[in-house]
Chains A and B, each alone.
Chain A
Amino acid sequence: GAGVSQTPSNKVTEKGKYVELRCDPISGHTALYWYRQSLGQGPEFLIYFQGTGAADDSGLPNDRFFAVRPEGSVSTLKIQRTERGDSAVYLCASSLMPQAQETQYFGPGTRLLVL
């Protein structure tokens, strides 16, 4: 399986709880992106990693959202004190080299439901 994988595929949690969403990019891809897709909308950018560092985190909605990529491969999106409005599909994408005309390949997403 050479594609982007995301776990869990579905997550149900209660308001106020903490959640972690994991993304495994395509092997060798240096760039990794997180997007959030609400029902009936297009994906919205959250954060972009080049290697281990966050190159652009301008899309994170507030300080409850945080993401890491400690070894430059797997990334974890962390949401503290979840709210019902955080319910959405969280998509991860990776690309080989951000400087070139490289496609962003998307994973299937994690569907988060906050009750």
Chain B
Amino acid sequence: SAVISQKPSRDICQRGTSLTIQCQVDSQVTMMFWYRQQPGQSLTLIATANQGSEATYESGFVIDKFPISRPNLTFSTLTVSNMSPEDSSIYLCSVEDWGLRGTYEQYFGPGTRLTVT
């Protein structure tokens, strides 16, 4: 099962600036996902990032606002660009990996808590 770390764990940023969030996995995985969890809300998928190809964005999310890099099988970054207070959320990295139950499962990182002032 995969162990995922994210940096930073939290940040407070000014509107109009950008923040890059890093996701590191302790094993090689094909599929990585970025989710957003707005305050008191559920998780919403931003995009799927596979190594060697462009990220696939969900409806309502665009590459200019949330550019993603996936340079290898253990690492990805998500940038939140030109931030506004509405971007204040927890951003979670997730991977699909072989689990202890003998099937592929999704594992989640601890999240990055972003506050935009």
To the question of whether A and B form a pair in one complex, the answer is: no
